[in-house]
Amino acid sequence: MHDNPILALVRNPYKLLHGAGLKKGQKVVEVGCGPGFFSIPAARIVGDEGHIYAVDVHPRAVGRVRKKIEKEALENITALCVNASNTELPGISIDLAFLFGLRYIAGGLENVITELHRVLRLGGILSFEKTRGSEKELIEEVERGGFSFTEKRGRIFLFTKKGE
């Protein structure tokens, strides 16, 4: 489904990524990259000065992203087959993390939030595309993880990492 070219007409990845706060030069983690529907557009947005870490637990999904990276000859993106609860990325090294379209997260959302808090720099952005469930519960859960709710842009919820 994610490789269907019609999907980009209905769900414009560039519009959603800009809404999530992606900008040129950022270091970004994409949680649950799947086959790379957002990964390649994200790499184009951050440009050569930025970097995308496309993370997924499914080896086949990561393999598809790697094929797309090779086909596009992109050097500013790394596909990682790891659990988002333990990315092995250096602490305080990421400007923005985003989770789009994930209904369930391996290991639970709380563990992912803890890991993203560890890797995001102070003031870094955590963006969620809300797909279902209570908005209030999502905000409360992310805020318990050390983030402040900043704003809502359509279905995208933006949070900022609080100070230590």
- Report the chain's terminal Cα–Cα distance, integer Å: 41
pLDDT value, residue 108: 66
**Strand 94-99 and strand 120-129: pairing?**
parallel
Strand partners, 128: 99, 157
pLDDT value, residue 123: 94
Strand partners, 53: 29, 78
Signed CA dihedral, 96, 102, 107, 108: sign only: positive
The neighbour count for residue 139, using CB atoms within 10 Å, is 18
pLDDT value, residue 4: 53
Sheet holding 77-81, edge to edge: 77-81, 51-56, 27-31, 94-99, 120-129, 156-161, 147-153
pLDDT value, residue 62: 97
Residues of the chain with pLDDT under 70: 1-11, 102-108, 164
Taking a C-beta distance cutoff of 8 angstroms, is the pair 157, 149 a contact? Answer: yes
What are the chain's domains? 7-161 (3.40.50.150)
pLDDT value, residue 40: 95
Q: Measured between alpha carbons, how far is 42 from 24 in angstroms, rounded to an integer?
A: 10
Q: Measured between alpha carbons, how far is 32 from 9 in angstroms, rounded to an integer?
A: 21
pLDDT value, residue 2: 53
Q: Measured between alpha carbons, how far is 82 from 84 in angstroms, rounded to an integer?
A: 6
Question: Which residues lie below 8 Å from residue 18, measured CB to CB, with a gap of 6+?
Answer: 45
Comparing CA positions, the residue from 10, 68, 9, 11 lying closest to residue 44 is 68
